[in-house]
Amino acid sequence: MHKTHLQRHRRIHTGKKLFTCSQCGKSFTDKSTHNRHMRSHTGEKPFTCSQCGKSLTDKSTLTRHMRIHTGEKPFSCSQCGKSFRCKSKLNDHLRRHSGVRSFSCDQCEKTFVFSSSLQKHLNVHAGVKPHFCSICGKCFGLLQHLKEHETIHTGVRPYMCSDCGKTFTTSTHLKSHQRTHTGEKPYKCSHCGKTFTTSNGLKSHQRIHTGEKPYKCSHCEKSFAQSGHLKDHEKVHTGEKPHQCSSCGKGFIRLCQLQTHKKKRCLKFLK
């Protein structure tokens, strides 16, 4: 190792930071990192992409950007084989496999893989809904939810499955659907090892272990682990029976009840 490289490396262990920013006072162990930081104040972007002309602050950012054009994804997941353009995206992806949810909401004890997800969730408690639909005026806490809602008005479903031709309003829904073809189940329960195709499927399953029942009935004190179970239960209070037997006309709260009725009890259907 070159002497200057050795000196720079030793500062990692000693914590010595010789280079200080004159604008904000932040300190750095090496000059190159200091120079890169200074560009955040000056706005200087000396590195230019030869493909699209975009200007960037440093060489490493340019290298990552070039992968958009080349399609190179050098960082691969050892568990599912999925590849990424940068290491930070791989690290985020690996957290999904691990199931570790280290960020907790202090108001409802809901947990998250990422701190950014927690911050967005806190807006729910605060009632903050900064994104509104220009067509109907409905407000949303997340921009993603607004975009998904707007497809109701436009009818646009731009994401198509190459295997079966089914279309979706969001890329997330398409990716989840495609796992029904590939059999991929990247979300693993840290309690029992069971795997799932979607993060929502994992969340619902984990409530079996935690005993969490976040969905409360507005008519009585009963609570449920899944929103679907709450919706079915509330029909007991409203008297709604949306699933009707085409043979005898009898109505049922759940589809499974109608199916059982047809198989075992409905004499008209059996004939």
Residues 140 and 184 in one domain: yes
Residues 145 and 201 in one domain: yes
Residues 134 and 195 in one domain: yes
**Torsion angle of the four alpha carbons 200, 206, 211, 214, in this order, in degrees rounded to the nearest 10:** -10
Widest distance between CA atoms in the chain: 91
Residues 133 and 207 in one domain: yes
pLDDT at 181: 92
pTM, whole model, 2 decimals?
0.42
Domain that holds residue 7: 3-72
Q: How far is CA 179 from CA 174, 175, 176, 184, 187, in A?
A: 9, 7, 6, 5, 12
Q: In the predicted model, what is the mean pLDDT of residues 65-69?
A: 87
Structure tokens at 64: 């990552």
User: Is 66 a domain residue?
Assistant: yes
User: Is 89 a domain residue?
Assistant: no
Least reliable range by pLDDT among 5-14, 146-155, 248-257 = 5-14
Tell me: the pLDDT tens digits for 206-259? 988 988 888 888 888 888 888 888 888 888 888 888 888 888 888 888 888 888
Return the H-helix or E-strand segment holding 218.
none
Residues 141 and 199 in one domain: yes
Q: Are strands 83-84 and 103-104 parallel, antiparallel or unpaired?
A: unpaired
Residues 195 and 135 in one domain: yes
Q: What percent of the chain has pLDDT over 90?
A: 4
Residues 160 and 182 in one domain: yes
Residues 173 and 137 in one domain: yes
pLDDT of 155 above 70? yes
Higher-pLDDT residue of 1, 95: 95
Average pLDDT taken over every residue of the chain: 83
Structure tokens at 235: 């029909």
Confidence of residue 12 (pLDDT cuts 50, 70, 90): low
* Total count of domains within the chain: 3
Residues 199 and 250 in one domain: no
pLDDT at 164: 92
Among candidates 138, 100, 106, 102, which has minimal Cα distance to 121?
106
pLDDT at 229: 86
> Looking at residue 199, which CATH number applies to its domain?
3.30.160.60
238 CB burial (10 A radius; 0-12, 13-18, 19+): exposed
How far, in whole angstroms, is CA 143 from its chain's centroid? 13
